[in-house]
């Protein structure tokens, strides 16, 4: 199976690149805008800007992928709110380009989406929940979903939530790394306790992508962690795991933060469909912290 990954330098992209580069049943073509961060053992790297249709079609002609896994996106929620043109270009136009190229080539498309397409009025949510995004980021991701769903492609949409993990170059932060760094520096941090999520280990999401490709899964699947937690819960668990001072963590609520983009209060996913149809088995949040800590240790050696 020839799999092309977009966004190979992102958090999910790096985890997926590592996973597929080790899989002898996969011929991997990793793509990204800049130079590839991870060294490849047996796979191919091609530079690609997916907002450029001619570039996409050129790479497709070279790579001839059976499956494309689109991990590339502009995910900085507040930046998406303030720079809407860039957000639309990266999250919608890019997906239009991939859909065009995949349709011409007869290539399956696996697209990554988000819980931010929902309004946070209730949760956890299954795949039938009705989207109603509160932010421009959420609206752009929903528009991308609609492009994929309305196409004549063989397609899969994997929705996920609050992904955490580490990149090889430590270029991407997330709530776990932010809490750990802040507490190590002795900083007091304000963390919201009125938002609910099912945090997702990046390695689990990467495996979900591979399972969807192997199974030739069709439709929408929720692929996340299984535990409903607030960011405050996440911070406390992180402090306890790394033996840091949790008294520095102060609970607050969303009304105390002035941010350009509105966040949904309660999302989180029910992942029964992915468990049953894909064989998806996520780690617990605690197990994810163990994996992350082992990786941090190996990077510091």
Q: Does residue 283 contact residue 205 with C-beta atoms inside 8 Å? A: no
**Structural domain containing residue 56:** 2-168+200-226+267-283
Q: Cα 12 to the chain's mean position, in Å?
A: 6
Task: Please tell me the distance from the alpha carbon of residue 291 to that of residue 285, in angstroms, as a whole number.
Answer: 10
Domain membership of residue 241 (yes or no) is: no
Based on the structure, what is the number of domains in the chain?
A: 1
- 95 within some domain: yes
Whether the pLDDT of residue 231 is over 60: the answer is yes
> How far apart (Å, rounded) are the C-alpha atoms in residues 11 and 209?
14
Instruction: Measure Cα distances from 61 to 48, 65, 152 in Å.
Output: 13, 9, 20
With respect to residue 250, please indicate whether it lies within any of the assigned structural domains.
no
In a domain, 45, yes or no: yes
H or E stretch covering 190 = strand 189-192
Q: Considering only CA atoms, which of 162, 176, 137, 175 is closest in space to residue 266? A: 162
Confidence band for 74, pLDDT divided at 50, 70 and 90? very high
Residue 75: inside a domain, yes or no? Answer: yes
User: Looking at residue 57, which CATH number applies to its domain?
Assistant: 3.40.50.720
Q: Residue 251 — very low, low, confident or very high, per pLDDT cuts 50/70/90?
A: very high
142 inside domain: yes
> 175-229: per-residue pLDDT in tens?
999 999 999 999 999 999 999 999 999 999 999 999 999 999 999 999 999 999 9
Is residue 255 included in any domain, yes or no?
no
Q: Read off the pLDDT of residues 75-96 as tens digits, 9 standing for 90 and up.
A: 999 999 999 999 999 999 999 9
* Contacts with 2 (C-beta within 8 Å, 6 or more apart), sequence order: 26, 27, 29, 63, 64, 65, 66, 67
pLDDT at 38 over 60: yes
Query: Does 186 reside within a domain?
Result: no
Asked if residues 69 and 214 have their Cβ atoms less than 8 Å apart, the reply is no
Share of the chain above pLDDT 70, in %: 99
**Averaged pLDDT for residues 162-167:** 94
Average pLDDT, the chain: 96
């Amino acid at each position: 199976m020839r799999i092309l990954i977009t966004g190979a330098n992102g958090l999910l992209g790096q985890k997926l690149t590592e996973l597929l580069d080790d899989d002898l049943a996969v011929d991997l073509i990793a793509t990204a805008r800049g130079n590839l961060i991870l060294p490849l053992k047996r796979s191919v790297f091609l530079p690609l800007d997916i907002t450029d249709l001619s570039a996409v079609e050129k790479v497709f002609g070279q790579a001839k992928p059976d499956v494309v896994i689109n991990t590339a996106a502009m995910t900085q929620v507040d930046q998406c709110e303030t720079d809407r043109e860039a957000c639309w270009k990266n999250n919608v136009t890019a997906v239009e380009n991939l859909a065009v190229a995949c349709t011409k080539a007869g290539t399956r498309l696996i697209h990554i989406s988000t819980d931010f397409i929902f309004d946070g009025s209730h949760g956890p949510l299954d795949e039938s929940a009705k989207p109603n995004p509160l932010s421009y980021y959420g609206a752009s991701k929903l528009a991308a979903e609609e492009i994929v769903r309305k196409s004549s492609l063989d397609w899969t949409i994997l929705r996920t939530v609050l992904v955490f993990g580490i990149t090889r170059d430590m270029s991407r932060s997330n709530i776990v790394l932010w809490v750990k760094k802040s507490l190590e520096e002795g900083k007091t941090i304000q963390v919201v306790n009125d938002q609910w999520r099912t945090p997702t280990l990046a390695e689990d999401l990467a495996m979900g992508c591979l399972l969807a490709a192997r199974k030739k899964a069709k439709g929408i699947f929720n692929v996340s962690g299984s535990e409903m937690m607030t960011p405050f819960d996440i911070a406390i668990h992180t402090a306890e795991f790394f033996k840091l001072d949790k008294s520095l963590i102060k609970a607050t609520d969303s009304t105390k933060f002035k941010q350009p983009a509105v966040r949904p209060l309660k999302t989180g996913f029910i992942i029964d469909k992915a468990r049953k149809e894909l064989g998806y088995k996520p780690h617990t949040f605690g197990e994810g912290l163990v994996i992350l800590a082992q990786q941090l240790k190996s990077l510091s050696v």
